[in-house]
Structure 1
């Protein structure tokens, strides 16, 4: 790791008001120092790097030109917001990024008045900024809504839904399209920057408005022709016809790293009476840091790294990650069956489907940030006889819940869901935690919901998904590495709705779902040491439940505890409902359900998160002992340890 960089100019800027005191010619130096500060900080903490480096100049320019926080700045996704945090009063905490009790890796309302809208999922910025703009308009207060959205986020339909509704905001809405992959426009140069400055200027807009007033007095056919002529002329010079059709005044493309170009254009946009306006800037991910520029994918999200060499800290050798096991198992299924295909929503490496794509490029589909489309596309494939696997993070699958219900479950189509990042996710915090998938899937008729206890079980469950053709089926698995068990050479087809007894006892029963099984076994050892004979069951299925096993365990043990890595309404609720339906509660059965607490947990180390949630071995033991101390009360219910 290197020493902190020297940043004499940045040291004078604590909030954007300080930034606005600088002369324009000082801004390039400020941007250089800001970039070095971000590199240095992320080298210490890890986190998102390339995206933040790509918007250093843009961040400085926005805060320099606009009156933040009165002008409400909304960053889409928020993973590019580290430079923004440095400039908005949080520099003294920037080396606590993504740590327990530290700064969030995304924008967060509770953190600062300069974060008016929290984000970590994609394509929400235009809708939110539109809300701010309309609210100010209705309340008669000054202030614009400014959305900064990346070109990748523009693949989601929500962005276009918002733009289609944006006319009402007028000039109070500014959308800045951060194009960092040249997916929309060719490389920019002096001519495009000059044109952007001209067409955003007050003089040009005034002349254009005057011509529009004249055109309104013309017969209707000539009005239409005049409007089309204006759009065509600017479209030929500037591009942006699509945005014009959605009601935006388009400006760009301009170089997002050239402050001499950015500042005057943004000033023109700030002062324009025309609106809403979309400013198209072209940037480079990782700008100013050679390792990140040369390998944008590897430096999108990084571990701690050496600033001088760019070398990232390597995790100690150990078992493969669950994601890697899923990918390997799916490739094996693809080799056995050419009907197997895979779908991801802009997360090929995050879900492991990049490996499947290398093996089966024609059967792998990255649909972009479009989870709704991904699910219904998979449903169409299934309806035509294919065997699609839709691999989506638990937290992102939430975005497609209506499609899961309407297009998959109601039609009972055999779409296979690989649900990555199930449970808590450490540094990414509550926005990326997979807390709710058991609750929202196991409540649906026709669904099969599995949770892998270890990597060997995951292999069996992928195979079970592959050969299950009688309806939708899902397997959930966490972020991180497996337990180190040997992977099976030949996968087994699991019997739907059947769990397994891992350890046999007679007084206490622990019913585990998912990778808390290891903690359940540790708890069983501790209970045995106290003379409490303990059974541990891996239920495997949240739906359908293994009714025969659960009924036996609840009928023959004094205390039963369910353990799951999910929110209230999941496994525990289903077991309690089953026990009630079977009349087992009438016999004074003691059952406790351990699950994630009914809060959004902040980022921290995963082991601490689970301890705080009451889902480690100590908490399981405490829950059992508490239940036994209340033996005479015969309580039934959901009680936290």
Structure 2
């Protein structure tokens, strides 16, 4: 049996009042015992056995550094020399550890001024340094799943000078983006895509006779999605050389907070990985099998195979057993904050002639090195500008809550009176507001993990049993479960209610998170009721409407951002609306009508005020429903006005398309009516502020005003030249 050494691999960081933190880096004195050593991570009262990790046969002593989080520009002499990964090749282990510390200082300094994704990036400083030290990007492909953790990668690949622009209009993207850098091998933003993309690249490499490496870095949260398992299953079958790094943080890299703190990944795999951390026998037996092979050479293949079989038996039910049954060669757990261990393992894998698919299980801590992020990694996941010393975020004051909050409070009010109402989300309790619902009804709220397909069909099953499921999912993420919406819900007319958050333009997260298409793909379904509120009061009414619809599925979309301050119903309990009926908000003189769908109705009202200043009295209506559409309202607007504008924050194929279909079928475009749809352009809108995106899309109140004036032949000027303000 192989022997083992214990060592302390890293210590907790503590934030001091002067803005400096203790950083403990490690390097090793060679004293291998039978080629095997085990690392120990001491974290408070955690059991020693649970926290042992694989390392490369050396003992550690530690050097303490003080990290500068004072808010002043940090002194980063090593980082200042890095403009390309090639500049890291000759750095020593000691220098690589120092570089990781400087990366953390740079990250906190930069993101404190711009906002962005912080905790995830802090957690992979050493891993990013090790990857770029060992591999040769861009020849070797490094793929970051989701991309929240890609900031250190961006800094080390020549974009440090532009980090001040991250998430800003015309600035760097917050995610890997192929158009931005040759080092971004694959674009990201959504979860669990990296292994599939990496496998495709690996197989493509083999077909073309290339020799480069492909590395996919995926978090334990992203591992809750079925797509990751589909990819691993295929990888094991195809047996191409692919390196998968499981970045195990014990937290989903999303705004998943419960009311009591951050949420762990959901599901059996998370439990299996936790069990694997404590499987000392598994690691020792595996290392012993390797040692026998090295000592006796090719004559002991049979003995080694028996050892391997026994190892799998010892680890039965663990994460390693699962991965290896899929055909992946498992290595780990590895201390993800020890550069030497990482470099050692990565070099060993890189030098293997034909390892096939390999999974390296790396243990990291989100927010590592910066005390505010270590204490509250969920709150420091996606941040606005903040004070580096304290971590306090400089959130703007608002007299209203977010639409997400109004949805949650309204759903709670409905559930107080109806015990059949349940909530479902896909690892987005904090993002969807269902963390508040969970606090009130812990047995009636279900976090299914990053698994939108499962979430939808799980909700369908609940509906089959007579419950009233509300499935709260971001618009861009619901795309991932469309077949389930169509086949499992709509086809069977099951009364699942879809609360579609982040509909429309979302600002800094850009095109990967833009909710442009939900109206288009939901309203094409024959049985779906499709709604959009013009304000927070209407949102509460639509929650009540959806709760009352019990013979078919329904959905309602609402944006990122705060309400307008409309008068809320008593106790946040909405009133069910008449299905398929809109309303007129402002009566005009008869020439111009503006029909809005969703919160863009507020811009329609502002446009009417601007037109009034030009002597034009416009009618403004709130459609409320895309499906069933209000035919009576459309006939009224078409027959009583010369000009009809429809406005929505959605793509082609959405509300305006349904309006045009109705107008054409009913002969309402055969006369003198001038109808113009105002929708999102048929392209992806890049990241930036929501106001900038609205301007770029041509959907502000001044653009609506300009469209009306052009139809009235009042102006031939450029839209952007008009002097109107919202």
Structure 1 and Structure 2 fold alike (TM over 0.5): yes
Structure 1 residue 253 and structure 2 residue 253: aligned? no
Q: Distance in 2 between matches of 1:178 and 1:153?
A: 10
The C-alpha deviation readout for 1:460-484, integer Å capped at 9, x for no partner, is: 0100011111201101100010001
How far apart are residue 237 of structure 1 and its match? 13
How far apart are residue 500 of structure 1 and its match? 0.5
Who is 2:344 aligned against?
A: 264
How far apart are residue 501 of structure 1 and its match? 0.3
- Secondary structure in 2 matching 1:554: helix
Q: Is the Cα–Cα contact under 8 Å of residues 289 and 307 in structure 2 kept in the other structure? A: no
1:479 alignment partner, one of 537, 560, 564: 560
Structure 1 residue 307 and structure 2 residue 373: aligned? no
Unaligned 5+ segments in structure 1 are 217-222, 632-641
Who is 2:365 aligned against?
A: 284
Q: Distance in 2 between matches of 1:263 and 1:91?
A: 23
Who is 2:376 aligned against?
A: 295
Who is 1:637 aligned against?
A: none
Q: Is the Cα–Cα contact under 8 Å of residues 381 and 387 in structure 1 kept in the other structure? A: yes
2:440 alignment partner, one of 348, 359, 363: 359
Structure number with higher helix proportion: 1
How far apart are residue 51 of structure 1 and its match? 0.6
1:573 alignment partner, one of 647, 650, 657: 657
How far apart are residue 238 of structure 1 and its match? 9.1
Residues 70-109 of structure 1: pairs in structure 2 closer than 5 A? 70-109=139-178
Residues 90-169 of structure 1: pairs in structure 2 closer than 5 A? 90-167=159-236
Who is 1:620 aligned against?
A: 704
How far apart are residue 212 of structure 1 and its match? 8.4
Who is 1:499 aligned against?
A: 582
Residues 274-423 of structure 1: pairs in structure 2 closer than 5 A? 274-423=355-504
The C-alpha deviation readout for 1:312-366, integer Å capped at 9, x for no partner, is: 1021132111000000000000001000000000000100000000000000000
Unaligned 5+ segments in structure 2 are 1-69, 252-269, 716-726
Q: Distance in 2 between matches of 1:192 and 1:58?
A: 26
How far apart are residue 210 of structure 1 and its match? 3.8
Q: Distance in 1 between matches of 2:300 and 2:240?
A: 17
Q: Is the Cα–Cα contact under 8 Å of residues 188 and 255 in structure 1 kept in the other structure? A: no
How far apart are residue 21 of structure 1 and its match? 2.0
How far apart are residue 621 of structure 1 and its match? 1.1
Who is 2:21 aligned against?
A: none
Alpha carbons of structure 1 residues 356 and 200: separation in structure 2 relative to 1, 3 Å:
farther
- Secondary structure in 1 matching 2:512: coil
Residues 220-259 of structure 1: pairs in structure 2 closer than 5 A? 228-229=309-310, 231-232=312-313, 235=315, 240-259=320-339
Q: Distance in 2 between matches of 1:192 and 1:237?
A: 14
Q: Distance in 2 between matches of 1:209 and 1:159?
A: 36
Who is 1:9 aligned against?
A: 78
- Secondary structure in 2 matching 1:350: helix
How far apart are residue 303 of structure 1 and its match? 1.1
Q: Distance in 1 between matches of 2:164 and 2:282?
A: 36
Who is 2:718 aligned against?
A: none
Alpha carbons of structure 1 residues 526 and 317: separation in structure 2 relative to 1, 3 Å:
closer
The C-alpha deviation readout for 1:85-133, integer Å capped at 9, x for no partner, is: 0000100001111000111011100000110100000000000000111
Alpha carbons of structure 1 residues 29 and 338: separation in structure 2 relative to 1, 3 Å:
same
Q: Distance in 1 between matches of 2:503 and 2:579?
A: 21
The C-alpha deviation readout for 1:287-326, integer Å capped at 9, x for no partner, is: 0000000111111111111111111102113211100000
Who is 1:599 aligned against?
A: 683
Q: Is the Cα–Cα contact under 8 Å of residues 344 and 351 in structure 1 kept in the other structure? A: yes
Who is 1:544 aligned against?
A: 628
Residues 492-531 of structure 1: pairs in structure 2 closer than 5 A? 492-505=575-588, 506-531=590-615
Alpha carbons of structure 1 residues 189 and 229: separation in structure 2 relative to 1, 3 Å:
closer
Q: Distance in 2 between matches of 1:347 and 1:326?
A: 14
Alpha carbons of structure 1 residues 328 and 8: separation in structure 2 relative to 1, 3 Å:
same
Q: Distance in 2 between matches of 1:391 and 1:623?
A: 35
Alpha carbons of structure 1 residues 213 and 205: separation in structure 2 relative to 1, 3 Å:
closer
Who is 1:219 aligned against?
A: none
Aligned residues: 622
Structure 1 residue 564 and structure 2 residue 648: aligned? yes
Who is 1:638 aligned against?
A: none
Q: Distance in 1 between matches of 2:461 and 2:558?
A: 25
Q: Is the Cα–Cα contact under 8 Å of residues 390 and 417 in structure 1 kept in the other structure? A: yes
Q: Distance in 2 between matches of 1:105 and 1:175?
A: 22
Kindly report the root-mean-square deviation, in angstroms, between the aligned alpha carbons of the 2 structures: 2.4
How far apart are residue 527 of structure 1 and its match? 1.5
- Secondary structure in 2 matching 1:280: strand
Structure 1 residue 611 and structure 2 residue 695: aligned? yes
Alpha carbons of structure 1 residues 239 and 125: separation in structure 2 relative to 1, 3 Å:
closer
- Secondary structure in 1 matching 2:429: coil
How far apart are residue 188 of structure 1 and its match? 6.0
How far apart are residue 629 of structure 1 and its match? 2.7
Who is 2:548 aligned against?
A: 467
Alpha carbons of structure 1 residues 477 and 238: separation in structure 2 relative to 1, 3 Å:
closer
Q: Distance in 2 between matches of 1:558 and 1:628?
A: 9
Alpha carbons of structure 1 residues 212 and 194: separation in structure 2 relative to 1, 3 Å:
closer
Mean Cα deviation higher: 545-554 or 580-589: 580-589
Who is 1:26 aligned against?
A: 95
How far apart are residue 529 of structure 1 and its match? 2.1
The TM-score normalised by the length of structure 1 is 0.93
Who is 1:58 aligned against?
A: 127
Q: Is the Cα–Cα contact under 8 Å of residues 508 and 533 in structure 1 kept in the other structure? A: yes
Q: Distance in 2 between matches of 1:265 and 1:290?
A: 28
Q: Is the Cα–Cα contact under 8 Å of residues 286 and 307 in structure 2 kept in the other structure? A: no
Q: Is the Cα–Cα contact under 8 Å of residues 276 and 319 in structure 2 kept in the other structure? A: no
Q: Is the Cα–Cα contact under 8 Å of residues 286 and 308 in structure 2 kept in the other structure? A: no
Q: Distance in 2 between matches of 1:208 and 1:385?
A: 65
How far apart are residue 624 of structure 1 and its match? 1.2
- Secondary structure in 1 matching 2:388: coil
Q: Distance in 2 between matches of 1:237 and 1:338?
A: 37
- Secondary structure in 2 matching 1:178: strand
Q: Is the Cα–Cα contact under 8 Å of residues 470 and 497 in structure 2 kept in the other structure? A: yes
How far apart are residue 196 of structure 1 and its match? 11
